[in-house]
Chains A and B, each alone.
Chain A
Amino acid sequence: MSDPIKINEKCVFCGACVKACPFGAITQTERKTVPVIDLMKCTLCGACVASCKFDAIWMKEKSAATIDLSSFKDVWVFAEQHDGVIQSITFELLGEGRKLADSLGMKLCAVLLGSNVQKQTAELIARGADKVYLVDRPALEHFQDESYANVLIDLVKRHKPNVFLCGASTIGRSLVSRVAVRVNAGLTADCTALAIDPKTLNLLQTRPAFGGNIMATIETPNARPQMATVRHKVMKEADVNPAHKGEVSMETIAEVLLHSKARRLKFVPETETTMNIAEANIIVSGGRGLQTAENFALLRELADVIGAGVGASRAAVDSNWIPYSHQVGQTGKTVCPKIYIAAGISGQIQHLAGMQSSDIIVAINKDADAPIFKVATYGIVGDLFEILPLLTQQFRKVLGK
């Protein structure tokens, strides 16, 4: 196969493409030589083609769409439910999906899979769904990767949505990665902003990469549906409007699609604390500065009073002070709460990657040079063993607890 991108004889060695390449894939070893494109670094983004004033860079055009894009209609949202309870990420997706559907002049639809979940369709309609595709079968009581994916693949093939959003949760990411492959859709992970390009009507999907140090905007020009998982707590929840009208479409599914080779034997809930940090609006997080596992009690007390989840840095988890499921950061969870209080966390880049998009960050650290202060909305240089108990005590008073 020939190279998908080449610099031809029109090149005047100006080096504009070298500068234009966002991925450092083009090098010019000496002046007055044709630059060389490293195809292993090149993502074929086309930035160099656009930068070249001499029309000297040829890039293979992607084949035009082989499907009729206009036959794909509506904005779909996967309604994630646990034990019949619709998860808040779903309401966030409906909030964002409404805007996209309105920009496209299309309907907003929710897809609900479960067992005995018919009642929950009203909740989805009140949050803005114009239509709910419902598959209500005992085999779908709990999430299973294969059967859930099979059902969604079937529904997508049958009804052809234009946009399909899903939460970037454990379930969401495991599920739609399968679906996107099977329906030949583009899938963008963990989006933090979505918009419709007014000219092309393509979905512009913006997401962090490299642990949040770089943002990328991604499009799926020639395939449908345009699929994306969306980060929790970034989009605003749709308001409840009991007057909103919507229809429920009961979908018939072939029995064979409900079969799953892998089976869930049981679910064991987390016992350490009740609050899941991915869901929490407030997180109090502790690091090496807490010194011992017992000292996490200081955080838990504060968390109780202000209704927060408890997080931790990698250092604290690696010291076995708190389970891994509480770890915030690159090798743990990415969180985006309204308030993030970091106590005794220095703020290594890997930790920042997991929490720097929080609305308000409070840092308490005795080292004034700790990198955490660079991202903190409010910084306190001081002893957390003095400050945390005082904070808990005074919040208790102020909040009347």
Chain B
Amino acid sequence: MRYVVCIKQVPETTDVKINPETNTLMRDGVAAIINPFDMYAIEEGLRLKAKTGGTVTVLSMGPPQADAALREAISMGADDGILLSDRAFAGSDTWATSYTLAMAIRKIGAFDIILCGKQASDGDTAQVGPGIAIHLDLPQITYVRKIESIDEKTIVAERLMENGYEVIQAPLPCVLTVVKEINEPRLPSLKGKLAAKKAVITTWKAADLQCDPKCIGLEGSPTKVVKIFTPPARQGGEMLKGEPSEIVPQLIAKLKDAILGAAN
């Protein structure tokens, strides 16, 4: 079985501020990490491989520095890494990103399961996983919290819904996006770290993927960011002071109307 895990390198924190003087994002000194949700995807790929045998390939689109993210995945136990890096990919939205990743997966050829985190912590869209699935005309199981069974032809997985979970059966190949509940990512082993150091990361450019130039980067992105701004700060709140017996009636007086109004 061949597992392909799509990962994204993101800033370590979402505590990103806009410098009010220059109106620029202040992200200097913020370390880059693997998107936290993708860590669960990598871990699940490794667990599936342990169960069924096969290989785990990690795939990322990003700047040359994203090489570090692929190596980290290899240190956890992934077999190889592919980096999609080309200036022509600049300005990609989720349409172009999912197209580019899908073209790379096509080039990889034989694959059984594509794993993604449910969303990235910087963009929070959750659109790329299903986007890859439709570009490849594959079934998808999103928000997977557990894989119940897998064989060469079929997977049965639980999808987390707002009010419970669905059990879904899909033929392979199939795209999965995973939530945090699915597992606990392992730490890299010493052996893994050595392998990561030695690993040769394959780099593919747009031309290697036979991408339609109209479908990548800016040209392939229907959406356009026209403005970024800092959300209005929440007004400093009111601290209720005194003994609990005094505070509680105060709070109730303040909330009562809102609670009656919000009656579910």
Contacts and interface: CB of A to CB of B under 8 A. Distances in A.
A210 B122 contact: yes
Interface of B: 11, 13-18, 22-28, 36-37, 62-65, 85-88, 90-91, 93-95, 98-99, 121-131, 133-135, 138-143, 145, 156, 159-171, 174, 179-181, 206, 213-214, 217-219, 221-231, 234-240, 244-245, 247-249, 251-252, 254-256, 258-264
The 3 closest A-B pairs by CB, nearest first: A186-B222, A40-B63, A211-B14
A373 B129 CA distance: 36
B226 A24 contact: no
Binding site of A, secondary structure by majority: helix, strand, loop or mixed?
mixed
24 contacts: A24-B26, A39-B87, A43-B90, A43-B225, A45-B224, A63-B219, A149-B134, A173-B126, A177-B129, A177-B134, A186-B222, A187-B127, A189-B123, A189-B126, A208-B124, A217-B225, A218-B225, A262-B170, A264-B167, A281-B264, A324-B181, A338-B261, A339-B262, A374-B237
A220 B222 contact: yes
A109 B170 CA distance: 33
Nearest to A179: B134
Contacts of A92: none
Contacts of B258: 338-339, 359-360
Interface string A221-265: 111000000000000000000000000000000000000111111
Contact of A42 (B90, B139, B162, B165): B90
A220 B167 contact: no
Given A40-B85, A214-B229, A269-B164, 10 more contacts: A42-B90, A210-B16, A211-B14, A217-B227, A261-B170, A267-B166, A324-B145, A339-B258, A375-B234, A379-B240
B130 to A, nearest CB: 4
B25 A208 contact: no
B16 A378 contact: no
Contacts of B223: 186-188, 218-220
Nearest to B130: A177
A383 interface: yes
Interface in A44-90: 44-45, 60, 62-63, 82
Contacts of A319: none
A4 interface: yes
A178 interface: yes
Contacts of B87: 1, 3-4, 39-40
A279 B164 CA distance: 13
A151 to B, nearest CB: 14
A325 interface: yes
A375 B237 contact: yes
A181 B131 contact: yes
A205 to B, nearest CB: 8
B22 to A, nearest CB: 4
A19, A213, A307: residue with the most chain B Cβ atoms closer than 10 Å: A213
Contact of B228 (A216, A268, A390, A395): A216
Contacts of A188: 223
Given A4-B218, A19-B22, A40-B90, A265 B125 contact: no
Given A170-B162, A173-B126, A338 B262 contact: yes
B249 to A, nearest CB: 7
A391 B252 CA distance: 8
Contacts of B133: 145, 178
